[in-house]
Amino acid sequence: MNGTPLLILHGWGSNSGRWQRVTDLLRKQEIEALVLDLPGFGIVSSPKRPWTRDDYINWIFQKAKERNWEKFNLLGHSFGGGLSVKIAVAFPEKVEKLILCAPAIIRRKRLKTYLFYQLAHIGKKIFSFSGLKKLEPYAQRLIYKLAGSRDYYVADGVMKETMKKLGDENLEDLLAKIKAPTLIIWGKKDDVLPLRDAQELKEKIEGAELKIISEVKHSPHREAPEELAEIISQFVK
């Protein structure tokens, strides 16, 4: 393989296997691409305590060190996008180029989220009665689904607390500090993070490029791997 390697950080609830098609296509173009199963996902066990983004970043750099990577291109999808932003700002000498694929960065107060917390609070009181206790798991599943919080529902105890820690951190202030050439990729029909977030990121990151993939939702690596691989290849070469 020639050139700078590409490190890919997957989204919450995902794993390296879901990026296999993309990495195979990139390797055919002589691009060394590595997707790590982050702790708590894929074949890697959950951490023993709730982690912060800094904990994840320390773990990631240990893996890069094991491969003797002094510098690399960095791609982050969704949750991995937030990690990538922190890495690019904290270690600009390590990141040659940055790709943000529908990153979870822009924080918005949504009515659905507010209702989720209100329902969860009320539901906890209602299902405290012994006769209704057995119905609680079914009600929880419905509430989380309606609120778009399935990731939280299926997470184990440590990962639930990890999600809370991650949610407390504001990454938007870091965007203006990114120095690496940056490409933003978004699915036109993303139903998890709105397309308007892509334009906001482009405005906040100096010199950033934006590529929108039509007919794609939140997972271009699974919905349009060939098109995504081509976009990545053109940017990093």
- Regarding whether 43 and 26 lie in a shared domain, the answer is yes
Q: Which is higher by pLDDT, 130 or 38?
A: 38
Q: Which two tokens stand for residue 215?
A: 């007919």
Domain count, the chain: 2
Counted residue by residue, the chain has a size of 237
**Of 35-49, 150-164, 205-219, which gets the smallest average pLDDT?**
150-164
Instruction: Tell whether the model's pLDDT for residue 26 goes beyond 80.
Output: yes
- Regarding whether 126 and 75 lie in a shared domain, the answer is no
- Regarding whether 131 and 80 lie in a shared domain, the answer is no
Beta bridge partners, 8, equal 35, 75
- Regarding whether 141 and 25 lie in a shared domain, the answer is no
- Regarding whether 101 and 81 lie in a shared domain, the answer is yes
Q: Where are the beta strands (DSSP E) in the chain?
A: 6-9, 33-36, 72-77, 95-101, 182-187, 209-213
- Regarding whether 144 and 28 lie in a shared domain, the answer is no
Question: What is the dihedral sign for C-alpha 19, 41, 187, 173?
Answer: negative
- Provide the pLDDT for residue 114: 44
Q: Which residue has the tokens 């010199």?
A: 207
> Quick check: helix, strand or coil at residue 134?
helix
- Provide the pLDDT for residue 53: 96
The parent domain of residue 71 ranges over 6-107+170-236
Enzyme catalytic residues: 78
- Provide the pLDDT for residue 137: 58
CATH of the domain at 29: 3.40.50.1820
- Regarding whether 86 and 57 lie in a shared domain, the answer is yes
- Provide the pLDDT for residue 146: 45
